[in-house]
């Protein structure tokens, strides 16, 4: 009897201990999210604040090519730094699901279909017993963004608004604040048009995943699938303000935190775990027909 009471008491202690551990982990998770969001918002606020100080302390400078170039250089160096800090914070905000972690994902069940960012059925560009290909890109989108950002610039050139005489006739502050948006227009337009094509290839024969570069200065890389992680990114198509539960699935090399590539699949952490499990099975099963849902997925492809 005494032994039974001791056993029950120990069992209750274990339950209480597990509950306390879970609560501690939840508090750590909340604190981690708050810290990441503080860094993201802080970096977003730092750039306009720095721009204000640069303009304020140089408002009486002469309007020369050198002075304007130095001002633009200082403003955009700060922007790049803030952008980098923000991207690193976003990388740390979401959990990473390793494709090498088989034990954690072995009980994850696969969905009947995936959904895209708008909630419709996601369609693979290719899915068979050799490769899965996802092209999360399009020429029409690139041309659209190029025109959106470059047409205003070309219009200003056509109407003679952007000329050396017009710019130098303004004060240093007005000239700098006029040129900075134009610089952004050109850079964003060219980036949207010239960035690497977002084509992700899962090769079953070589057991590798090919991930393109995210920026123009990055090259695509082909890695063993065990070295790749699945994570998340915000979904601006989500109907809710923060898109909670609808975040976009992202694939990345954990050694290149600025190179994560979105897949165009929404669904948050549950969908991310399911997709990671699907890729594991696709790479490891001797026959893809052993995956019950594979036949269904193979019928949902881009025509």
Q: Would the pLDDT of 26 be above 60? A: no
124 shares a domain with 210: yes
102 inside domain = yes
Task: Give the model's pLDDT for residue 223.
Answer: 93
Residue 123: count other Cβ atoms within 10 Å of its Cβ: 17
Helix or strand (DSSP H, E) at 278: helix 268-284
154 shares a domain with 22: no
181 shares a domain with 60: no
221 shares a domain with 121: yes
213 shares a domain with 183: no
232 shares a domain with 166: no
Q: Are 43 and 86 in contact (CB under 8 A)?
A: yes
303 inside domain = no
201-212 pLDDT, tens digit per residue, is 999 999 999 999
Q: How many domains does the chain have?
A: 3
Sequence-separated (6 or more) residues with CB below 8 Å from residue 267: 114, 115, 245, 246, 247, 249, 274
Residue labelled with tokens 């970096």: 43
Q: 87: which 2 tokens? A: 């991207």
144-155 pLDDT, tens digit per residue, is 877 877 777 777
250 shares a domain with 103: yes
121 shares a domain with 71: no
Taking CA atoms, 74 is separated from 51, 78, 178, 196, 240, in Å, by 8, 6, 15, 27, 37
66 inside domain = yes
Q: Could you list the residue range(s) of the whole structural domain that residue 129 is in? A: 95-136+197-298
Average pLDDT (129-135) is 91
Between CA 168 and CA 155 the distance in angstroms is: 20
162 shares a domain with 70: no
């Amino acid at each position: 009897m005494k032994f039974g009471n001791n056993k029950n008491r120990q069992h209750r202690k274990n339950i209480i201990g597990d509950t306390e551990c879970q609560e501690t982990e939840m508090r750590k998770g909340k604190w981690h999210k708050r810290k990441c969001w503080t860094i993201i918002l802080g970096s977003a606020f730092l750039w306009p604040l720095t721009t204000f100080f640069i303009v304020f302390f140089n408002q009486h400078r002469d309007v020369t090519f050198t002075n304007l170039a130095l001002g633009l250089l200082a403003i955009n160096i700060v922007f790049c730094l803030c952008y980098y800090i923000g991207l690193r914070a976003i990388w740390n905000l979401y959990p990473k699901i390793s494709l090498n972690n088989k034990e954690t994902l072995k009980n994850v069940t696969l969905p009947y279909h995936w959904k895209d960012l708008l909630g419709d059925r996601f369609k693979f560009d290719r899915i068979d017993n050799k490769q899965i290909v996802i092209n999360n890109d399009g020429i029409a989108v690139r041309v659209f963004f190029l025109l959106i950002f470059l047409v205003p610039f070309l219009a200003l050139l056509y109407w003679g608004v952007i000329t050396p005489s017009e710019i130098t006739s303004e004060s240093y502050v007005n000239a700098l604040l006029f040129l900075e948006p134009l610089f952004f227009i050109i850079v964003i337009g060219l980036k949207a048009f010239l960035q690497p094509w977002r084509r992700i290839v899962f090769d079953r024969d070589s057991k590798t995943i090919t991930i393109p570069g995210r920026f123009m200065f990055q090259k695509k890389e082909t890695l063993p699938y065990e070295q790749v992680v699945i994570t998340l990114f915000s979904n601006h198509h989500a109907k809710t303000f923060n898109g909670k539960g609808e975040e976009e699935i992202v694939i990345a090399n954990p050694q290149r935190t600025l190179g994560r590539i979105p897949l165009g699949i929404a669904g948050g952490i549950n969908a991310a775990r399911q997709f990671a499990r699907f890729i594991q099975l696709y790479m490891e099963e001797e026959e893809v027909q052993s995956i019950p849902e594979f036949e269904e997925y193979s019928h949902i492809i881009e025509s």
